[in-house]
Structure 1
Amino acid sequence: MDIQSINWRPKLGDRTNFGIGFVGCGGIVQYGHIPAYKKAGFHMVAAYDLKREAAEAVRDLTGGSATVHDSLDALLADPAVEIVDIAVMPWVQHEIVQKVAAAGKHMLCQKPLSLNFDQAVDIVNMAHQAGVKQAVNHQMRWDSGIAAARQMIEQGAIGTPTDAQIQVSSATPWHMWPWLASAPRLEVQYHSIHYIDSMRFLFGMPEWLTSRHAKYAGQGDVKAETKSITIMDYADGLQAMVAVNHYNMHGETHAVFRFYGTEGAIEGTIGLMYNYPSGRPDTLVYRQQGRDPIELPLDEMWIPDAFVGPMAGLMSAIETDGVPPTDSADNLNTLRLVEAAYLSASENRSVALAGFLEG
C-alpha cells in the first residue's frame, strides 16, 4: 500500500469556534492544551482555577482571549462558554461534572475519569441525563504514530494482526507531579492507561488480561508501582503487551510500538518519551518480508499536538449530534481494563473480561 497517502492529522469539523472554558489551569493545560488549541484555531474564552495566578497564566497564554473567573459557578454562567475543558485531579472531577452537567454545558473530561468505577459510571450518567456531550481526554489516540498505525491497520497493511507491543523504559521526572508520590495506584492508573486505551483503540476489547506490577528499589517516597507488564489476549489469537519501566536511570530511553500481522509490520517510536518533556516527533516504519522498509514522515508529537484530537472530536459530535470518538460511555471499557490490571496484579491471576464490571 502507499503509506505516504496516510493522513494521520486530526480531522476538524466545519465549526471549530465553540467557546472553550478551562476548569483547572495547571501545567498540562499550559504546555499541552493551549499550544494545540492555538495551532488548531480553537476559541478559548474563559479560565478558572483555585489558584487565580494559574488562571491568569492561562489568560496570558491565550493572548488575553480567556476571561479569568473567580468561581466555577461564574465560569458556567458565562454565555461564551459552550465547552468546559476539565483538567483537575480525578478525585474532584465528579463534583465538577455535576455542576457542568447541571449548567447544560458540553465537556471534555480529564483521564482517568474517576478513581472509582461506580463513580465513573455516575459521571457518564450525569452527562447523559443532562443531554450534553461528554468526552474523555485520551489524546494518545491522535499521537501521530498511533493515528497513522490505526489507518494502516484498517486498510489492511499488516493483514490480520497477530502481535502488538508498546514498550517504554525511561527515567520519569516524578518531581513534575509531586502529588503522585502518595498515590496508592500509579503506573497503570496514570500512565499505562494511555497505552492500554491505545491498544483498545487499535484492536478492540480483549478476552483476557494479565498484569504484573513492581517497584524500583530506589524509588524512595513514591508509594505505588512504577513498573508494569500487561498482556491482553484476544479471541483470534492476537496478543497485545504493554511493558513500562519508569526507572531506567542508566540506559538509553526506549519508547517503541510494534504492530505485527500476517502481511506486514508497523514499527515506530513514541517521540515524547525521549528527553521528556521536550521530546521529538514520532517515527514510523512499514515493513514487509522481501521488500525495503518504508518510512512515513511524521512531524508532530504526543504533547502538545495530539491534544487537538479529543477536542476536535467533541466539537464534531456537538455539530452533528453524533458521538465523540472518546465518548465517556465507551471510555468505561478502558477503565474496565485498568481495574482488571489491578485485580490481576493483586490476585496473581488472569482476568476474564466477559461480564467484568458490566452493569
Structure 2
Amino acid sequence: MACACSIVAKFDLRIRFEEPRIQKLQDLMKLNYQWPLPIQPRPISIIGSGGIVKDAHLPAYSKANFKVLGVFDIDYEKSAMVAKTWNLKAFESLDKLISNAQAHNAVFDLALPPSAVSKVVEKLPNHATVLIQKPMGSDLEEAKEIKEICARKKLNAAVNFQLRFSPMMLALRDAMSKMMLQKILDLEVHLNLETPWNLFPFLKKMERVEIAVHSIHYLDLIRSFLGTPKSVWAQTLGHPNTPDIAQTRTSAILNYGPEIRCVISINHNYSKGPRLQTAQIRFDCQKGGAYVKLGLLLDYPRGEPDEVWIYKSEKEEWDQIEFEGGWFPEAFIGTMSNLQRFVAGEDNQLHTSVEDAYETMRLVEACYESSRSGGTEL
C-alpha cells in the first residue's frame, strides 16, 4: 500500500503541473469579444431593404436595442414588407425619411447597390452621421467620389466593413494586444466551399463580383492587421457551372516585404459535398498562432458556429477561445457602435472611416488590375 505522504506528493505535483494550464485557460476566457455600445444610442434610419438588411442590420439593431425609425427603398412594396415584419415605418420617399431622421438626430444606415451610394450620400444633410454598406462604390473612381462628397458635406461617415468587429476577430485582436500572439509572419485566408449564388440574383448584373463583394472583407481585415501592402499579384475568374456570375474564384498574394507571407485562396464552386469544405483564416506568428473558422460561410445561410483556436507558444496545445455570437448579426452591432461612439467622443478612432475604406478600395482595384495584366508571360 502506498504511503499517504507519497500520494499527497503525487497529487501536489499534479496540481502544480496543471496550474499554468488552468491559468492559461482562464486568460483565454477573459478575452474581449464585444465592442462597447454607445452610452446614449441614437436612432437609425435605414435606406435600402435588401437581404442584408433583413438578415444582418435589423437583427443586430434589435439585439443591441438600437431604435430604428424606419426604412426607405425605391421598391416600396419591398420596404413595406420589411417594415411590417419588424414593426417599422416604411417611408414613401427618400426626402421624407431624411426629414424624419433630421428631426430625431438619427444615424443614416445605407444598404444600397454600390452604384447608387454616391447619389444618395449627396442628398444627405451636411454634418450627418452615416454608415455605408460595403463596397464603397462600384470601383475606385466611385469610391473617390464618395470620399470627396463626405469631406465636402462634412459627414461623419464610415463603411460597414464589419468582419473586423465580429466576436471572433475582436477576441483574436485582444489576444494579440495581451501579447499571446506576437508579430504576424504568415496570414492565409482559404475558402473551398459551395456558395448558393441563387440567393443573390442581383449579382448577375455586376461586372465585378468575387473581390468587390466578398473577398473585399478579407482584404480589409488583412489591412487592419498588417496595413496596406506594397503591391499585389492576383487572379479572379468565373466558373463554367455559374456562367451568370462574373467571378467566383480568386487567388491573391499580398506583398508585405521579405518577412511576411500573405495570401488568399477562394473557390466558391466546390461542389463535392460538405465534408471537406473549408472556410478558414490562419495566423502564424513569431510567437504563437491562431486558427479561425468562418462558420457562417459553411452551409450558408444557416451556417455553423464560428471558432477561434489559439496556440500561445511551443510545447503547448491548441486552445479554443470561448465567445458568444458570430459574424452575422453581432459584427453589425460593432460597426454601428464604433461610429456612434466616435461621434459622441467615446471612441478615439473611427476604424472604418471612409478615408480608411478608400485604402481598401485601392487594394481591391489593384487586385483587378493585376488580374487584367495576366502575370509574367512565358
Instruction: Say yes or no: TM over 0.5.
Output: yes
Q: CA deviation at 1:337?
A: 0.6
Cα shift at 1:211: 0.8
Question: Counterparts of 1:348 and 1:150 in 2: how far apart (Å)?
Answer: 36
Q: Match for residue 328 of structure 1?
A: 354
- Which position in structure 2 is the counterpart of 1:317? 342
Match of 2:331 among 303, 306, 309: 306
Task: Tell me the amino acid that sits aligned with residue 325 of structure 1.
Answer: H
Q: Is the 8 A contact 1:161 1:261 kept in 2?
A: yes
Q: CA deviation at 1:323?
A: 4.4
Amino acid at match of 2:98: L
Measure, in 2, the Cα distance between the counterparts of 1:232 and 1:211: 9
SS of residue in 2 equivalent to 1:213: strand
2:364 matched to which residue of 1?
Answer: 338
**Aligned structure 1 segments of 4 or more residues deviating by more than 4 angstroms:** none
Q: Note if 1:231 corresponds to 2:253.
A: yes
Aligned to 2:269: 247
Partner residue of 1:96 out of 116, 120, 124? 120
- In structure 2, the residue matched to 1:205 is 228
| Residue of structure 1 in register with 2:31 after alignment | 6
Task: Show the counterpart of 1:353.
Answer: none
Equivalence for 1:354:
none
Fraction of identical pairs, as percent? 27
**2:27 is the alignment partner of 1:27:** no
- Determine the C-alpha separation between the residues in 2 that align with 1:133 and 1:179: 29
What is the aligned-residue RMSD (CA, Å)? Answer: 1.7
Question: Which ranges in structure 2 are unaligned for 5 or more consecutive residues?
Answer: 1-23
Give the superposition deviation at 1:207.
1.4
- Structure 2 contact 139–361 (Cα < 8 Å) conserved: no
CA contact (8 A) 1:133 1:317 kept: no
TM-aligned CA distance change 1:21 to 1:57, over 3 Å: same
Instruction: Report the Cα distance in structure 2 between the residues aligned to 1:239 and 1:95, rounded to whole angstroms.
Output: 39
| Alignment partners' CA distance in 2, 1:323 and 1:148 | 19
1:296 equivalent to 2:318? Answer: no
Partner of 2:189: 166
| 1:154–1:234 CA distance, 2 compared to 1 (3 A) | farther
User: Which residue in 2 is equivalent to 1:347?
Assistant: 373
- Give the residue type in structure 1 aligned to 2:247: E
Distance 2:153 2:126 in 1: 9
Report if aligned partners of 2:126, 2:154 keep a CA contact under 8 Å in 1.
Answer: no
Distance 1:195 1:310, change over 3 A: same
The structural deviation recorded for 1:168 is 1.0
- State the distance in 2 between where 1:81 and 1:117 align: 31
Q: CA deviation at 1:27?
A: 1.2
Counterpart residue number, 2:3 = none
Distance across 2 between alignment mates of 1:240 and 1:3: 26
2:63 aligns to what?
39
Match status 1:48 vs 2:72:
yes
Q: Which amino acid aligns with 2:173?
A: R
Report what 1:177 is aligned to: 200
Once residues 51 and 220 of structure 2 are traced to their aligned partners in structure 1, the CA distance between those partners, rounded to angstroms, is: 23
Q: Cα offset for 1:217?
A: 2.4
Deviations 1:235-255 (A, max 9, x none): 362121111101011143210
Asked if 2 retains the 8 angstrom alpha-carbon contact of 1:206 and 1:233, the reply is: yes
Aligned residue type for 1:68:
A
Deviation, structure 1 residue 104: 4.2
Give the CA deviation at 1:81. Answer: 5.1
Aligned partner letter, 1:260: D
**1:78-137 deviations in Å (ceiling 9; x for gaps):** 11252110001000111000001x354211111111113232122122222222200101
Q: How does 1:119-198 map to 2 (within 5 A)?
A: 119-198=142-221
- Structure 1 position 301, deviation (Å): 1.4
SS of 2:194's equivalent in the other structure is coil
- With 257-266 and 284-293 compared, the bigger mean Cα shift is at 284-293
Report SS of the residue matched to 1:21.
strand
Structure 1 unaligned blocks of 5 or more = 351-359
Distance in 1, matches of 2:364 and 2:122, equals 24
Deviation at 1:61, TM superposition (A): 3.6
Determine the C-alpha separation between the residues in 2 that align with 1:341 and 1:255.
21
1:327: Cα distance to partner?
A: 0.5
SS in 2 for 1:262: strand
CA–CA distance in structure 2, aligned partners of residues 167 and 81 of structure 1 = 42
Equivalent residue number for residue 109 of structure 1: 132
TM-superposed CA distance for 1:324, in Å, is 2.1
Instruction: Report how many aligned residue pairs link the two structures.
Output: 345
Aligned to 2:11: none
SS, match of residue 160 in structure 1 = strand
Partner of 1:83: 107
Compute the TM-score of the two structures, normalised by the length of structure 1. Answer: 0.91
1:264-283 CA-partner distances (Å, limit 9, x unpaired):
11012001011101112211
Contact 1:139 1:307 in 2 (8 A): yes
